[in-house]
Chains A and B, each alone.
Chain A
């Protein structure tokens, strides 16, 4: 029998990979990609929690709320990536680099 804590462990390893990527990568796009990995780890956690910790007596909505939240996180992540990539293109046009330190000033 598979312990649901193993799934949570997988998700936390993924999350920490994402944290490492965001902290150590210089390229803005790579930072955004690592951010996506972190969101993905949280999605796995949400589904696991609602699947295994929903409790007896949770109705239809309660038992599936984790899946619903996951779908919402996906939608928000898609919106975030759209805006983030547009920002990166705008920064690249100005600074001719996508280095994180180039965008640190937030000033033309």
Chain B
């Protein structure tokens, strides 16, 4: 497990570094994907295989594709590099003449105050995030040493179970009905091991069923909202018609 952890440690950090340093949006998205796969490995090392698989399915499978779609819909250049050789996705072919003219225009313009916009200047962002990191590391150092060392699992029975020994059994609330030879049903407690999918499902449906249902409602609302927001006529762009009206005209 430690090998898995250290491998994914390196992969995750590399992906995160790629995300924040790459200027091209698609490469940054690739870095995010790598970081997601790395953290799936971390989840695997933490005895959470179900979370690891859902991480890959949801993040790498669905979110990354959605990001890629929107990157292709929009121009990935910002005001900063308009007219300069654009990032991937910009349709404009690099033309040295326009680039130099854009540079000249930039020089001629009055430079706005660096803190006037929403975006922080890079050195300041580095200082802010590094000081946050220092705070977090100090807080982590001050944590009590873990109740369960690596390779030990939280146990119901009070005794910790070492790695390699039979994993602790957790009693679930739903017993298994075993048919007796005389035809009657005997309730046998159902046991699950730490981290396996059955344990997660029992946690969801015995511990937090309401939250599970509410989240499904939330996702439904989000889908409706996304469809509404991205509709053409609701964006109110001058010059564009309602699609229904366009169909009428045609």
The chain A residues found within 8 Å of chain B, CB to CB, are 1-10, 12-21, 23-27, 29-30, 32-34, 36-37, 40, 43-44, 47-48, 51-65, 67-68, 70-72, 74-83, 85-90, 92-94, 96-102, 104, 108
With a cutoff of 8 Å between Cβ atoms, the chain B residues found around residue A17 in the complex are 16-17, 19-20, 129
Number of interface residues of B (CB under 8 A): 106
Q: Does B229 contact A (CB under 8 A)?
A: yes
24 A-B contacts (beta carbon < 8 Å): A5-B146, A7-B42, A7-B46, A14-B35, A23-B124, A24-B120, A26-B119, A33-B67, A37-B19, A44-B39, A53-B146, A54-B147, A55-B147, A56-B154, A56-B160, A58-B156, A60-B207, A68-B211, A72-B215, A79-B221, A81-B63, A82-B222, A86-B229, A98-B78
Q: Does B223 contact A (CB under 8 A)?
A: yes
With a cutoff of 8 Å between Cβ atoms, the chain B residues found around residue A102 in the complex are 79
Q: Are B73 and A51 in contact (CB under 8 A)?
A: no
Q: Does B150 contact A (CB under 8 A)?
A: yes
Among B49-57, B97-105, B177-185, B242-250, which stretch is in contact with chain A? B49-57
Which chain B residues (173-227) contact chain A, with CB distance < 8 Å?
Answer: 192, 194-195, 199-200, 202-204, 206-208, 211, 215, 218-219, 221-223, 225-227
Q: Are B119 and A25 in contact (CB under 8 A)?
A: yes
Which chain B residues (71-112) contact chain A, with CB distance < 8 Å?
Answer: 71, 73-80, 82
With a cutoff of 8 Å between Cβ atoms, the chain A residues found around residue B48 in the complex are 47, 51, 67, 70
List the 3 closest pairs (A to B, CB-CB), nearest first: A79-B222, A61-B207, A86-B229
Nearest-neighbor residue (CB-CB) of A66 within chain B: B48
Q: Does B164 contact A (CB under 8 A)?
A: no
From residue A5, how far is it (CB to closest CB) to chain B in Å? Answer: 5
> How many Å lie between the Cα of A3 and that of B73 in the bound state?
45
The chain B residues found within 8 Å of chain A, CB to CB, are 1-2, 5, 9, 12-13, 16-17, 19-20, 25, 28-29, 32, 35-36, 39, 42-43, 46-48, 50-51, 54-55, 58-59, 62-63, 66-67, 70-71, 73-80, 82, 117-122, 124-126, 128-130, 132-133, 136-137, 140-141, 143, 146-151, 153-156, 158, 160, 170-172, 192, 194-195, 199-200, 202-204, 206-208, 211, 215, 218-219, 221-223, 225-230, 232, 234-237
With a cutoff of 8 Å between Cβ atoms, the chain A residues found around residue B219 in the complex are 75, 78-79
Q: Are B148 and A54 in contact (CB under 8 A)?
A: yes
Nearest-neighbor residue (CB-CB) of B87 within chain A: A27
From residue B86, how far is it (CB to closest CB) to chain A in Å? Answer: 12
Q: Are B74 and A29 in contact (CB under 8 A)?
A: yes
